[in-house]
Amino acid sequence: MPPALIEPRTARLQLRQWRAQDRDAFAAMVADPEVMRYFPAPLTRTQSDAMADKCEALIAERGWGIWVVERLADQQFIGFVGLHVPQPDLPFSPCVEIAWRLAQHAWHQGFATEAARAALTVGFGTLQLAEIVAFTTKTNTPSQAVMQRLGMERDSASDFDHPALPAGHPLRPHVLYRLGAANFGAPPERQAYPVPL
């Protein structure tokens, strides 16, 4: 029997399973060179459909995963945020990572942090995980700022070269942030922008 779908909601956002009608907005997002600035290349339509299919299949299988983020105010697709078990050849695997990607029009409004906090609540609450990690290329400061807003701590001793990128690739050096269940608290900004738990 398939597991019950976990689809967290926050004050402004619905995190949910993928639908066929998300594919166009997702393809447009991952074809945007600015959104993909810290990735090897923008995705083709074939690649973006394959990625959406994979996210949808993993949520169907587990009940949780990389969710679509829909803005409640207008039901618009604004990106994805969620939890994922990454490739086993990372030096700190096995682990559960938190990941995010938003369309440019949805940046600088606190949506990534708000959605990520809901995903962490699922991870530490429902899933009872002991730790959740996040990683990104060294120069991706906007993503590291989200990690820091969530109370994640950089583990400098675990800086690593991403095995999927060739030696010498400028995006290869990566940083790792960690958050333990005991440290998932209420960052100060939550008082101003409450997220129902």
Ligand X SMILES: CC(C)(COP(=O)(O)OP(=O)(O)OC[C@H]1O[C@@H](n2cnc3c(N)ncnc32)[C@H](O)[C@@H]1OP(=O)(O)O)[C@@H](O)C(=O)NCCC(=O)NCCS
| Residue 5: CB minimum distance to ligand X, A | 23
Indicate whether 160 belongs to the interface with ligand X (CB under 6 A): no
Under 8 Å CB-to-CB from 134, ≥6 apart: which residues? 97, 98, 99, 143, 147, 152, 176, 177, 179
Binding region for ligand X (CB under 6 A) out of 60-68, 70-78, 110-118, 119-127: 110-118
| 10 counts as binding ligand X under rule CB under 6 A | no
Q: Judged by CB under 6 A, which stretch of 18-26, 48-56, 98-106, 172-180 contacts ligand X?
A: 98-106
Taking CB under 6 A as the criterion, the residue among 26, 64, 77, 111 binding ligand X is 111
Q: How far is the CB of 2 from ligand X (least distance, A)?
A: 29
Residue 112 beta carbon to ligand X: minimum distance, rounded to whole angstroms: 3
Which of 53-61, 86-94, 106-114, 162-170 is the region at the interface with ligand X (rule: CB under 6 A)? 106-114
As measured in angstroms, the least distance from the Cβ of 171 to ligand X is 10
Q: Does 108 bind ligand X (CB under 6 A)?
A: yes
SS (H, E, C) the chain: CCCCCCCCECCCEEEECCCHHHHHHHHHHHCCCCCCCCCCCCCCHHHHHHHHHHHHHHHHHHCCCEEEEEECCCCEEEEEEEEECCCCCCCCCCCCEEEEEECHHHCCCCHHHHHHHHHHHHHHHHCCCCEEEEEEECCCHHHHHHHHHCCCEECHHHCEECCCCCCCCCCCEEEEEEEEHHHCCCCHHHHCCCCCC
Rule CB under 6 A: choose which of 133, 146, 176, 179 binds ligand X: 146
Among 65, 113, 123, 174, binds ligand X (CB under 6 A): 113
Q: Footprint of ligand X on this chain (CB under 6 A)?
A: 35, 38, 100-102, 107-113, 136, 140, 142-143, 146, 189, 193
